[in-house]
Structure 1
Amino acid sequence: MLKKLKTDGSALLKVVASEHLRLIKGANGNEQPVLLGKEVIPNLEELELLNFDDIDRFSPDLFQEIKVFVARGGSRSTSFIFPFVRRFYNLDSIELSDFNFKYVIPCKGDVGTLSPIKNLKLGHSKNLKHIWRKDSELGHILSNLQTLTVRGCNDLINFRASSSSLQNLTILNVSYCKMMTNLVTPSVLKNLVQLATMRVENCIKMTEIVGNEGDLHQTIVVSKLKCLQLSNLQSLTSFCPGSYTFNFPCLKELVVEWCPRLKIFSEGILSTPQLQRVKQSHYFEKWSWTSDLNTTIQQLYIEKVQS
Structure 2
Amino acid sequence: MEYIVAREEEKHGEAADIIVIPQIVTLYLHNMPKLRSFCQGKYILEWPSLKEFIVEDCKAVEVILGNASRILEGSVLMQRPLLLVEQVEFPNMESMKILRMDNMEKIWLDDLASNAFSKLKTLEVQYCDKLSSIFSSYTMLTRFQNLEKIVVTNCESLEVVFHIQEFNFSEARSTSTFLLRELVLMRLPKMKHVWSGFCQGGLSFRSLRCMQVIECGSLKILFLSLVAKSMTQLEELVVQSCGVEQIIIEEDGVGMSTSNLFFPGLINLKLLELPKLRSFYENSHTSTWPLLKELRVRHCGKMRSFSSACEIQSCQGTTTNGYQPAIFSPEKVIPHLEELTLVSEDIEMLQHYFFGNLKDLALGWYHDENAAFPSNFLLHGFPNLELLSVICSSFEEVFPEDASGHGGSTPCEGPTNVEKPLKALGNLKQLELLNLWNLKRIWKDGSLMAEILKQIEFLFIWGCPSLSVVLPSRLHSRD
Q: What TM-score do the two structures reach when normalised by structure 1?
A: 0.64
Corresponding residue for residue 20 of structure 1 = none
Corresponding residue for residue 253 of structure 1 = 339
Matched residue of 1:180: which SS? coil
Alignment of 1:213-252 (within 5 A): 213-214=283-284, 220-230=287-297, 233=299, 235=301, 238-240=304-306, 243-244=311-312, 245-246=329-330, 247-248=332-333, 249-252=335-338
Corresponding residue for residue 380 of structure 2 = 291
Query: Percent identity between the aligned chains?
Result: 15
Matched residue of 1:154: which SS? coil
Alignment of 1:133-152 (within 5 A): 134-135=198-199, 140-152=203-215
Contact 2:120/2:144 (8 A) holds in 1: yes
Q: What TM-score do the two structures reach when normalised by structure 2?
A: 0.44
Alignment of 1:28-47 (within 5 A): 41-47=90-96
From 195, 201, 209, the equivalent of 2:272 is 201
Query: 1:157/1:121 Cα in 2 relative to 1: closer, same or farther (>3 Å)?
Result: same
From 274, 281, 285, the equivalent of 2:357 is 274
Displacement of 1:11: 0.5
Alignment of 1:1-307 (within 5 A): 1-2=25-26, 3-7=51-55, 10-13=63-66, 41-49=90-98, 50=101, 51=104, 52=106, 55-56=109-110, 59-71=113-125, 74-77=130-133, 80=136, 82-97=138-153, 98=155, 99-101=158-160, 104-106=163-165, 107-108=167-168, 109-110=172-173, 112-113=175-176, 115-123=178-186, 124=188, 126=190, 128=192, 134-135=198-199, 140-160=203-223, 161-162=225-226, 164-177=229-242, 179-181=243-245, 183=247, 187=258, 190-206=261-277, 210=280, 213-214=283-284, 220-230=287-297, 233=299, 235=301, 238-240=304-306, 243-244=311-312, 245-246=329-330, 247-248=332-333, 249-255=335-341, 262-264=344-346, 267=349, 272-275=355-358, 278-280=361-363, 289-292=378-381, 304=394, 307=438
Contact 2:240/2:272 (8 A) holds in 1: yes
Output the CA distance in 1 between the equivalents of 2:381 and 2:114: 57
Contact 1:230/1:255 (8 A) holds in 2: yes
Contact 1:100/1:126 (8 A) holds in 2: yes
Query: 1:122/1:102 Cα in 2 relative to 1: closer, same or farther (>3 Å)?
Result: closer
Query: 1:226/1:11 Cα in 2 relative to 1: closer, same or farther (>3 Å)?
Result: same
- Which one has the bigger helix percentage? 1
Contact 2:107/2:134 (8 A) holds in 1: no
Query: 1:66/1:111 Cα in 2 relative to 1: closer, same or farther (>3 Å)?
Result: farther
Contact 1:238/1:266 (8 A) holds in 2: no
Query: 1:130/1:40 Cα in 2 relative to 1: closer, same or farther (>3 Å)?
Result: closer
Query: 1:60/1:43 Cα in 2 relative to 1: closer, same or farther (>3 Å)?
Result: same
Structure 2 unpaired stretches of 5+: 1-24, 27-50, 56-60, 71-86, 250-256, 313-328, 365-373, 383-389, 397-437, 439-479
Corresponding residue for residue 11 of structure 2 = none
Output the CA distance in 1 between the equivalents of 2:281 and 2:348: 11
Output the amino acid matched with 1:165: S
Displacement of 1:170: 0.5
Output the CA distance in 2 between the equivalents of 1:94 and 1:140: 17
The farther-off stretch of 153-162 and 193-202 is 153-162
Structure 1 unpaired stretches of 5+: 18-37, 282-286, 294-299
Output the amino acid matched with 1:83: T
Which of 1 and 2 has higher RCO (CA within 8 Å, sep 6+)? 1
Deviation by residue 1:90-144 (Cα, 9 ceiling, x = unmatched): 222223454223994245545645533222223416353576865189x834433
Query: 1:270/1:4 Cα in 2 relative to 1: closer, same or farther (>3 Å)?
Result: farther
Query: 1:199/1:57 Cα in 2 relative to 1: closer, same or farther (>3 Å)?
Result: same
Corresponding residue for residue 32 of structure 1 = none
Output the CA distance in 1 between the equivalents of 2:163 and 2:247: 21
Matched residue of 2:230: which SS? coil
Output the CA distance in 2 between the equivalents of 1:302 and 1:48: 39
Displacement of 1:43: 1.6
